[in-house]
Amino acid sequence: MHTHHCDVLILGAGPAGLAAALAAARCGRQVIILDDNPRPGGQIWRDGPRVQLPALARRYQSAVANAPNIRLLSGARLIARPSAQSVLYETAEKSGIVHWQRLILCCGARELFLPFPGWTLPGVTGAGGLQAQIKHGLTLRGERVVIAGSGPLLLAAASTVGKAGGKVVAVIEQAPRAALLRFAAGLWRWPDKLRQLCTLMPGHLHTASQVIEARGEDRLQTVLVRHAGETREIPCDRLATGYGLIPNLEPGLIFGCATLHDALRVDEQQRTSVENIFAAGECTGFGGSELALAEGEIAGYVAAERPEAARQAIARRQRWRRFARALNRTFILPDALKQVVTPQTLLCRCEDIRCGDVQDATCWQEAKLSQRCGMGACQGRSCAASARWLYGWPLPQPREPLSPARTETLIALAKSAP
């Protein structure tokens, strides 16, 4: 068991976490970053053998690597909170405890999956999941790919698929065309985003549409798409779906941080409701990497007791908050998307639980206790969020350990309990 002490502990090495670390380090604080990925960058700057990272990402990674007062612990999963100001983590080889004076939560977000008949067929993945596979070496040469769901991640996924040799035969976006045109017309306020949209905009974009079924024998062969009450079938080899992002709240919830609109609630200085705990990036709400960088910088300076140094970041945050509001208005998910779910649709693939098995439950805990929903390898990270969106259940309180852990790690947790 390794024990570490620091002035500022940062959970997450995405854009917000890297910006927070650099800001706190500039103020002379000793910083530790705890991240469960093998390399820093988070999901948006995910590194890999086939990745050419943006110059901005490389600058942040290099600055963190060269800062003498920043220590990065990669491949480290958060397991529990042994005390009010410490965390227990585990890597593939060891476990450890970090004691901190200030904590900054930069835990990011994950994809929202909406179940539909056939979504567990081989060949069906998340849109971000397919991007991650490609960045780690997957080739799609000659494969026909349908990308479906909602939000700008679909366009980014389409671009990544094309670069990997795949053929994007359709991008199925649930938002109506009028909403997309209004959004695009307002992008003159953010010229970089307008140029990015022009670069990423694919052909075969179908608006106000939804994939309602994936079909195939041993693997995916076709998808059914509904538009304006009509259904058509599209042959394909892969389907990547994603309905936006949901904040990773679990670390904040085990520390008792309050939430607002299913995200961690923060004030203008990125402080949470718990003393000495801050939050930044997509765990406070989705807004893109630019907003995450600004929020992380603010949190880092304030945690280091230098709030006056955050003035420029506060101005940038305001600009990108406006972009985030426009983005979230455009891609809001209507309840009509729920109509595709049938009682036989699989909800929890780990435990083979179907939607009809839990549709009468009143909360996640009830579904978990009665049907083992969420008791498998992913510990409900996918199906819990899907069920909440489908049935309107209240936000569940996470329990420790947050991730499956080795016996010796759990023994260490028991010994460290006050």
129-158 pLDDT, tens per residue? 999 898 888 889 999 999 999 999 999 899
Alpha helix segments (H runs only) across 141-269 = 153-163, 177-185, 191-200, 250-254
- The CATH number of the structural domain formed by 113-243 is 3.50.50.60
Angle, in degrees to the nearest 10, between helices 191-200 and 153-163: 50
Alpha helix segments (H runs only) across 177-330 = 177-185, 191-200, 250-254, 289-303, 311-330
Q: What is the pLDDT of residue 44?
A: 83
Q: Answer with the residue of higher pLDDT: 210 or 201.
A: 210
Q: What is the pLDDT of residue 53?
A: 84
Torsion of CA 35, 254, 269, 8, to 10 degrees: -50
Q: What is the pLDDT of residue 417?
A: 67
With 80 as the cut, is the pLDDT of residue 345 above it? yes
Token pair for residue 193?
A: 């985003």
Percent of the chain residues topping a pLDDT of 70: 99
Percent of the chain residues topping a pLDDT of 90: 71
351-374 pLDDT, tens per residue? 999 999 998 999 999 999 888 888
Q: Give me the chain's average pLDDT, please.
A: 92
Query: What's the rounded Cα separation, in Å, for the pair 158 and 169?
Result: 10
CA distances from 354 to 123, 322, 382, 396 (A): 20, 39, 14, 20
Residue ranges of domains in the chain: 2-110+246-327, 113-243, 335-418
Most confidently modeled of 197-206, 233-242, 387-396? Answer: 233-242
Q: Do domains 2-110+246-327 and 113-243 have the same CATH topology?
A: yes
Single pTM value for the model: 0.94
How far separated are the first and last CA of the chain, in Å rounded? 17
With 90 as the cut, is the pLDDT of residue 76 above it? yes
Torsion of CA 389, 391, 397, 401, to 10 degrees: -80
268-322 pLDDT, tens per residue? 999 999 999 999 999 999 889 999 999 999 999 999 999 999 999 999 999 999 9
What is the fold of 2-110+246-327? FAD/NAD(P)-binding domain (3.50.50)
| Residue 327 DSSP symbol | H
CA distances from 83 to 88, 237, 301, 413, 415 (A): 9, 49, 25, 10, 12
Diameter of the chain by CA atoms? 62
Token pair for residue 63?
A: 């600055």
